[in-house]
Structure 1
Amino acid sequence: MLSDYLRRQDGVITSEQARAAGLSRRSVQRRVQSGQWRRCGRGVYFVDDRPFSDAARIRAAVWGHGSQAAASGLTAASWHGLTRFAPDIVEVTVPRDSHGRRHEGTRVRRRDLQRCDVIELKGMRVTSLSLTVVEAAAQRGGGAKLLDTALQQRHVDLPGLWRTHLRNKGRTGAPRSRLLLQAAAGGAHSVAERILHQLLRDAGIGGWKANHRVGGYRVDVGFAAQKVAIEVDGFAFHSHPDAFQIDRQRQNDLVLLGWQVLRFTWLDLTAYPERVLALIRSAISAR
């Protein structure tokens, strides 16, 4: 039973689990004194016969803040698999009336989470996927890219994210979350067009016209002399399948008319502007 706990829990075990596996308090103390076990927090231990992985670090930090603690923010995002790397500082949300002290390597947020906003994942309490996306997207290191990825991969949908946001309006980062959700809901296309126009002007790139007519269509930005069209896809590629098909038909028609089409998302324009400008310069200089 002890081996099973350690295998499933990245080498981390609580004192209650140790007792359930048949170890007395004295047996636990002997293991700590001999160096076999490392004490990570009150009633939480790591069996030091394996690497102290990110998963072990997160699990120990969360469990060290009590049974009602939950991983949140970017920590929860990594636990859900939304981000590739775990953050250096483990974010833990605990109830408001919790009296536990902050541990080194953790950031504690005191807030009472609703039952629907907490789940158990891989044996540990963590904020639900929707709340994780809403909170982590508002943090440095998360941002639009995290929200964009979650929407693209259909992990979440916008109505569910909005309900979660409104249910947790008082949290840290809520205003930024609201702006990101508004952008994802459709307001990003016009914003993205304005950003694109400003990028072109600041880079000194001329010869383009906004809402340029090509055949029976209007492209967001057209370079008539070079027959290069730039289309802005808004926030993410998560539009309705019918809209996706219409966009592809439109692009095919433009190509048949001899135009090269470059497509950029709101994320491209806000996160990777230099890359966008390099592609545009390359396209208009080659034609």
Structure 2
Amino acid sequence: MDSAPFVGSEAMANGLVTRQDLRHRFRRIYRDVYIDPGCELDAPTKARAAWLFSRGKGVVSGVSAAAIHGSGWISADHDAELIWAEHRRKFDGLRIGFDELRPEEIETVDGLVVTTAARTAYDLGRRRPFGTAVARLDALCRATGVGISNITRIAEGHGGARGIVQLREVLDVVDAGAESPQETRTRLALMAAGLPRPQTQIEVMGPDGRVFARIDIGWARWKVAVEYDGEQHWSDERQRAWDIERQHLLEALGWTVIRVSALQLRTDPWGVAARVRDKLRAAGAKV
């Protein structure tokens, strides 16, 4: 069971720790899986703990597999996920599924047996709510480079599975260019308002021919940019100064920049879309 930074019964059997050590010096994650309290329990670490708890019989899946594949924005507060056909009990902090897995849908990453990126996307894309599913697939596709065709191939092998209709809708709007869930939600809000599908990570060159900016979301044809302002844009003085200079340079090149905050996106997405629509019309777009 031992795999640094974890300890369990094997370490105790080998005389490396005592039962009292486990209770008082380590943090219990799952039964017989303990971790040094000084170690960060992030999503990948929690996934490994769950797999060790299964003694290697489970397959890391869902958000846990996405974390192992390098996908960002997954909180350790999420239950770890396994597909473990032999086990039907429920455990706190652990979500166990019993879905069918084919040999080509499983791989080994850093010693853990996990669902492939394509199978992971297939699983996550079928879960509601829709916006969360898109954000998770945006992040997974960005981290792994898995293609839509690979995910579709998995879906075709599981015809009639629950959530397939939503998965198709999710795959229609997935964009690996999104760098955060909030960027995904901004893009979806604009599309839900009937605006043309925007591009992501648009490179803009300065007069010297060098790329000086990448626009989060926008339409290069009409030079309209939508930028989501995360917390770092306000809390980091240098970042804020560069944001101001960057916007000045973009406007000098004919770009219109609409900035969006989390509060605006959460409370008035239609107002955000209306402002963007007005700027697109002013630039000549027929929207």
Task: Tell me by how many angstroms 1:73 deviates.
Answer: 1.6
Inter-partner Cα distance in structure 1 for 2:163 and 2:80: 14
Counterpart AA for 2:276: L
Give the corresponding residue for 2:66.
77
Is the 2:82–2:96 contact (alpha carbons within 8 Å) kept by the matching residues of 1?
Answer: yes
Inter-partner Cα distance in structure 2 for 1:56 and 1:148: 22
| Structure 1 residue 179 corresponds to structure 2 residue 169 | yes
Task: Tell me by how many angstroms 1:162 deviates.
Answer: 0.8
Inter-partner Cα distance in structure 2 for 1:197 and 1:233: 6
Match of 1:46 among 13, 34, 37: 34
Q: 1:86 to 1:198 in 2, by over 3 A?
A: closer
Give the corresponding residue for 1:112.
100
Give the corresponding residue for 2:151.
161
Give the corresponding residue for 2:274.
277
Task: Tell me by how many angstroms 1:129 deviates.
Answer: 0.5
Give the corresponding residue for 1:131.
119
Give the corresponding residue for 1:233.
197
Is the 1:71–1:127 contact (alpha carbons within 8 Å) kept by the matching residues of 2?
Answer: yes
Inter-partner Cα distance in structure 1 for 2:18 and 2:165: 48
Inter-partner Cα distance in structure 1 for 2:191 and 2:36: 57
**TM-score scaled by structure 2?**
0.56
Q: 1:69 to 1:35 in 2, by over 3 A?
A: same
Inter-partner Cα distance in structure 1 for 2:69 and 2:144: 14
Is the 1:62–1:70 contact (alpha carbons within 8 Å) kept by the matching residues of 2?
Answer: yes
Inter-partner Cα distance in structure 1 for 2:192 and 2:81: 40
Q: Secondary structure at the match of 1:108?
A: strand
Cα distance per residue 1:249-275 (max 9 Å; x no partner): 9669xxxxxx9899xxxxxx9x95543
Inter-partner Cα distance in structure 2 for 1:68 and 1:178: 31
Q: Identical aligned pairs, as a percentage?
A: 20
- Structure 2, unaligned runs of 5 or more: 176-188, 202-218, 224-253, 258-264
Task: Tell me by how many angstroms 1:89 deviates.
Answer: 2.8
Give the corresponding residue for 2:81.
92
Q: 1:135 to 1:183 in 2, by over 3 A?
A: same
Bigger-Rg structure (1/2):
1
Q: 1:123 to 1:129 in 2, by over 3 A?
A: same
Is the 2:107–2:113 contact (alpha carbons within 8 Å) kept by the matching residues of 1?
Answer: yes
Q: 1:273 to 1:99 in 2, by over 3 A?
A: same
Task: Tell me by how many angstroms 1:128 deviates.
Answer: 0.5
Q: Secondary structure at the match of 2:95?
A: strand
Is the 1:70–1:127 contact (alpha carbons within 8 Å) kept by the matching residues of 2?
Answer: yes
Inter-partner Cα distance in structure 2 for 1:250 and 1:184: 21
Q: Root-mean-square deviation (CA), in Å?
A: 4.3
Q: 1:165 to 1:31 in 2, by over 3 A?
A: farther
**TM-score scaled by structure 1?**
0.56
Task: Tell me by how many angstroms 1:149 deviates.
Answer: 4.8
Task: Tell me by how many angstroms 1:45 deviates.
Answer: 2.5
Inter-partner Cα distance in structure 1 for 2:137 and 2:23: 46
Q: Secondary structure at the match of 1:142?
A: helix
Inter-partner Cα distance in structure 2 for 1:34 and 1:196: 52
Task: Tell me by how many angstroms 1:94 deviates.
Answer: 2.7
Inter-partner Cα distance in structure 1 for 2:74 and 2:156: 28
Task: Tell me by how many angstroms 1:92 deviates.
Answer: 2.2
Counterpart AA for 2:170: L
Is the 1:65–1:100 contact (alpha carbons within 8 Å) kept by the matching residues of 2?
Answer: no
Task: Tell me by how many angstroms 1:132 deviates.
Answer: 1.2
Give the corresponding residue for 1:67.
56
Farther-moved stretch of structure 1 (27-36 vs 65-74): 27-36
Q: Secondary structure at the match of 1:35?
A: helix
